[in-house]
Amino acid sequence: MKRILMLVISLCTISSICFAGKLAYEPETPTSASFSATDQYANQFITFVNYAKADGHSEYWVRFTILSDNNKLLYNASLNIDGIVYELQPVYEPTYKYEYAAYSNIDNNIHRNISGSQPFRYYLIPSDIVEKIKTARKVIFIYNRINKLDVPITLYDNYLQNIKSIFDLKYADLSTYFHPSSAD
């Protein structure tokens, strides 16, 4: 029994280390691009998105889901940034933009809900909170489920650095990072 438990713990540790966060740089429309940072915390996937537009404006949000959990995710979430909690604005009716921006960071099984994951929840991040994240030392994402409130996820330091790096990007930066190979 101990061996099985150790094997399960080892596999969970290895899978979370192997995921180790992903960055994606994607064109979305002729005048917009998404820059995203995704990471996995046990059975939770969290993505921070910078939806940058050619006019110089950006929109920011968090996309979040839990795998293999039947306890409904609630609409509200917050960020604790260096000890101060900020409520995030929920997106009640996500549109194409939210669902497909940063799409390459979504495992197909998660997106198609095959693995029993919760539907994605989206939370807008106001620009003033983005500025606080850019200088933060510690960020905790706090979400709520139907059976448990204020569930914290402390973001790994390297993941926080990835988030900061994508939040600084502008639409014009897409050509620096987006280099697909040719089908030849």
pLDDT single digits (tens) 8-64: 444 444 444 444 578 999 999 999 999 999 999 988 999 999 999 999 999 999 999
pLDDT at 11: 45
Judge whether 138 and 154 are in contact, CB under 8 Å.
Answer: yes
Q: Is 61 exposed, middle or buried (0-12, 13-18, 19+ CB in 10 A)?
A: buried
Phi and psi at 31, nearest 5°, equal: -125, 20
Distance between CA atoms of residues 16 and 31, nearest Å: 35
Which residue in 11, 7, 74 sits closest to 43, CA to CA?
A: 11
Instruction: Annotate 112-177 with DSSP letters as a single string.
Output: TTTT-PPPPEEEE--HHHHHHHHT-S-EEEEEEETTEEEEEEEPPHHHHHHHHHHHT--GGGHHHH
pLDDT single digits (tens) 136-167: 999 999 999 999 999 999 999 999 999 999 99
Handedness of CA 35, 126, 39, 47 (dihedral sign): negative
How does residue 116 score in pLDDT terms, banded at 50, 70 and 90? low
Per-residue pLDDT at 74 exceeds 70: yes
2-6, 118-122, 150-154: the lowest-pLDDT one:
2-6
Once rounded to an integer, what is the mean pLDDT over residues 73-98? 95
pLDDT at 119: 80
**Whole-structure pTM value:** 0.83
CA angle 124, 137, 106 (to 5 degrees): 45
